[in-house]
Structure 1
Amino acid sequence: MTAPTSVLHIRVDDETEAGAVVALDALGLSMSDAVRLVLHRVATDRALPFELGVPNAETRAAMEEAETIARRHRSRFTNADALIADLEDAGIR
């Protein structure tokens, strides 16, 4: 005989759900599988299976910039050369 089960209902925006479905499908998991895994880890470890933290000022500024760019549906750079030049100026290779 199998153990009794519960049905959970969660609310999440459509974009988040769609992105999660794609990512989980690539891992061979369903949404239900992923939720069960997270809940199992919470119950077993008595903690979330990932670290939560408050982003620092630089990260918050980057997140705000990304949100602004996404709302405007445009990139910060006019072409790939401008992006590469900016990365090189920042010492990122």
Structure 2
Amino acid sequence: MEKTATLNLRVNPIVKERAESVLSRLGVPMSTAIDMYLNQISLTGGIPFAVTLPKAPDEINADLMTDEQLHAKLKKGYDDIEAGRVQNAANAFAKFRENHGV
């Protein structure tokens, strides 16, 4: 099939870099990957994967906690602060990104 249409897209540069890295290892150009995605949309009649919010584990999902459980978790957090068991937020997020490839 001849390719004559052009798409101009704005995307998050970090997401683009990560996708390009994966596609490069697969030997698939970005334009081919986008074409594959668009073909799948037309073949399946929708987005070809589930679009859902990530599910929080039950032990940290406040929507599933009783008031007592929630208060106990909050109290533990306050106790940790008072005992000095804290981290710098910037360092904690940097470590999270490093551990999770984000």
TM-score bucket (shorter structure): 0.5 to 0.7
| Percent of paired sites with the same residue | 24
What's the Cα RMSD here? 2.7
1:22/1:4 CA distance change after superposition, 3 Å: closer
Number of matched pairs: 67
Per-residue CA shift, 1:13-63, capped at 9, x if unaligned? 21111111110011111110110000001011112121111222339x6xx
Higher relative contact order (CA 8 A, sep 6+): 1
What residue number does 1:30 align with? 29
In structure 2, stretches of 5+ residues that fail to align are 61-88, 97-102
In structure 1, stretches of 5+ residues that fail to align are 62-67, 76-93
Structure (1 or 2) with the larger CA radius of gyration: 2
What residue number does 1:78 align with? none
1:9-24 aligned at under 5 Å gives the runs 9-24=8-23
TM-score with structure 1 setting the length: 0.58
TM-score with structure 2 setting the length: 0.53
> Which one-letter code corresponds to 1:74 in the other structure?
K
Could you tell me how far apart the structure 2 residues matched to 1:70 and 1:5 are?
A: 47
